[in-house]
Amino acid sequence: MRVLILKKGVSRIGGSESHARALARTLAARGHEVTLAGLQPAWRRAGLEEGTEFRDGDARVELMRTRLGPLGAAVDSLLPTSLLNERALHDRVTEVDIVHCIAREYTAAGERLARARKAAYVETPLVHPGQTLAGTSPADLARYRRADAVLALTEWERTWYATYGVDRDRVHVVGSGPVTERLPVGTPEPATILFVGRREPYKGYLALARAARLVWRHRPEARFVIIGQRGWHAVLTERAVPTRDPRWFDRGIANEETKLKAYASCTLFCMPSRYETFGLTYIEAWLARRPVIAGDIPALREVVGDGGLFVRQDPQAIADAILELLDNPARARQLGERGYERATTRYSWATVASRVELAYEAARSNALRAEAQPRR
């Protein structure tokens, strides 16, 4: 199949961006003609190759211009806007079978292109119900109903769409695979807790910082390693973070090798998020056979299953879960092994790609049927 994947950000850093890159690589390796199109940013971005066109495995990656030139690129890089130059997109994409939008920034342009080219329109909305701009507006819901296929990452997400009138047969649960298939072999360092993610309150970053002080009362040797991008609000919100404590290691935006070594050397992974569509970092930690502590929300209960612990975003609850795993190494190893099994079977990219291919075929059938009747 000829597949166009649209995703505003296509850096190797960030959950949805890494998902798009890995999916494009995997589908291309399976014989599909895949192009991943994203924003040509106004400035150099970490984790993004130089140039406007490059290869990622067998997939082609193209960075698209905005309608307002450098100013539009700057705006699009900072805000949840969509200033994609659609004329340039239509000029580049003349033949395509599937137009697949991941996240919602380029959905309007993607749907128009699919209809113009008589291709199937597929969307992975990555909804976060409860958050601002979470993909739950009336316009979003109407678009999900029009799509030839909606790709959900969990059964919980699929049920959510059905609640809002999206044809359940058009929603396909595909999951996601790990961003990397390899991890360096490493022995876990004693009492080392790893957090990888945007340092946002909803990810549990601030709650983890408060939990650290509670953990240190019982395990003063515990170390906290933090990898991830700071939020724009960090100056105002991170006053309680123990940045001057030598047991709190802030790695910032780390390269891939540093991140992989951190997974391999940690004792456990902790990201008690309040909102997640899936949570790729839990899968990555499992590849190192490390136990995870996740937020107690439906999507994560489904993804993590018996490979970790669940906590509400409360410092004491987080500290108690960390201490439970530090004080019981056998339990920690058991959870890590269960997670590894889930990561390498249920969430391997080969399994995920097979599900996506079936969804694409169903979408093409739906698109062909829709040509014979007026679209709703």
Query: Buried (b) or exposed (e) across 256-286, using 16+ Cβ within 10 A?
Result: eeebbebbbbbbbbbbbbbbbbbbbbbbbbb
For the whole model, what pTM was predicted?
Answer: 0.86
Contact 146, 331 (CB under 8 A): no
Backbone angles phi, psi at 226, to 5 degrees: -115, 125
**34 - beta bridge partners?**
3
Fold assignment, 2-177+348-371: Rossmann fold (3.40.50)
User: Both tokens of residue 310?
Assistant: 């669940």
| Topology agreement, domain 2-177+348-371 and domain 192-344 | yes
Cα separation, 322 vs 269, in Å, equals 9
User: What is the reported pLDDT for 234?
Assistant: 59
192 phi/psi in degrees, rounded to 5: -115, 120
Q: How far is CA 65 from CA 70, 83, 244, 249, 314, in A?
A: 9, 9, 42, 38, 43
Encoded tokens for 101: 């939008």
Please tell me the predicted confidence (pLDDT) of residue 236: 57
How high is the pLDDT of residue 209? 94
The helix (run of H) or strand (run of E) holding residue 258 is helix 256-265
pLDDT tens by residue, 58-87 = 999 999 989 988 898 889 888 888 899 999
What is the distance between the alpha carbons of residues 19 and 56, in angstroms, rounded to a whole number? Answer: 13
pLDDT of residue 93: 92
Q: How far apart are CA 322 and CA 192, in angstroms?
A: 10
The CATH number assigned to the domain with range 192-344 reads 3.40.50.2000
* Domains of the chain by residue range: 2-177+348-371, 192-344
- Mean pLDDT of each 10-residue bin along the chain, 376 residues long: 95 85 95 96 84 93 91 87 91 95 94 96 89 84 96 94 94 89 73 92 92 96 92 64 89 84 94 90 92 95 94 96 97 95 90 96 93 66
